[in-house]
Amino acid sequence: MEGKLSSQGRAEPIELDDFPPFSVRQRMFGPIELTRGCIWACRFCQTPSLHRACFRHRSVPEVRRWVRQIRKAKLRDVRFITPSALSYGSSDGSVHLAAVEELLAASREEIGPSGRVFFGTFPSELRPEQVTAEALAVIRRYVDNDNLIIGGQSGSDRLLRECHRGHDAESVERAVRLSAEAGFVPNVDFIFGLPGETPEDVRATLTLVGRLTELGARVHAHAFMPLPGTAWRSAPRGSLEPVRKHLLSLAGRGRAYGQWRRQLELAASVSRR
């Protein structure tokens, strides 16, 4: 009103089952939103500030209904969007493998023999401490992706604690080893230039990156951006100078990829504003 921002406060959380994940009528298909909100509240991430720090899941019968629509539209691929794929059916940090299996089995059955199911890859990544041999066996049974995306973010336990990540560097290495043993190519997200990153943190991250690439992982590199609404919204943008050469060398060998150069430009623009 009169050029002023007016707010009625935060809306009440919705039931995901009450909202379609895409428009069948307009043929605008996309990933099925499985889960909204996230309990971890990592300090760099917008998901909990936009959607609250609690999980709401779409039910299996509703997922089935929308997979059926994908098949009816003669499309083949089922993808999901969730902050943490192995959190499906859970209200806390635990994994309910029976719920994950019910979801994947239903999706596989509905999409039929010529369809494909993707889970544990973008945009439905895995948290490292939730990756176990049992969970990977369940995923393997139903999915068509040959790679997984694991949120690592840093090799420094100190920085992981600062981020409120809720896992350590060792769990990232274990998740990568288990994923490779289960026949997946692990891609690991890292954020470089996090607030307060010291030369020791950089060394710890590059040491972990070296161990992971030896195990067959690829690094999905990001530059830290102070995103609006996050705990680190006022932090200075990240610098990749200490790791630039290393990343370029990894990228040259096909062991790293990502939009980190573009993110540096974006971070500069966000910081200016």
| Chain residues in the site for ligand SF4 (CB under 6 A) | 38, 40-42, 45, 47-48, 83-84, 127, 151
Shortest Å, Cβ 133 to ligand SF4: 22
Work out how close the CB of 40 gets to ligand SF4 at its nearest, in angstroms, rounded to a whole number: 4
Residue 237 Cβ vs ligand SF4, minimum distance, rounded to whole Å: 18
Q: For the CB of residue 43, give the shortest distance to ligand SF4 in the complex, in Å.
A: 9
CB closer to ligand SF4 out of 115 and 151:
151
Which residue number, 130 or 145, has a Cβ lying nearer to ligand SF4?
130
CB of residue 33 vs ligand SF4: minimum separation in angstroms? Answer: 13
Is the CB of 143 or the CB of 163 nearer to ligand SF4? 163
Residues 218 and 156: their CA atoms lie apart, in Å, by 18
86 or 212: whose CB is closer to ligand SF4?
A: 86
- Distances in Å between the alpha carbon of 236 and those of 197, 224, 233? 11, 9, 9
84 versus 121: smaller Cβ distance to ligand SF4: 84
Residue 224 CA neighbour count, 13 Å, CB half: 28
Identify which of residues 84 and 263 has a Cβ nearer to ligand SF4 in the complex: 84
Give the position of tokens 């999901």. 80
Minimum CB separation of residue 164 from ligand SF4 in Å reads: 8
Biggest CA-to-CA distance, the chain: 61
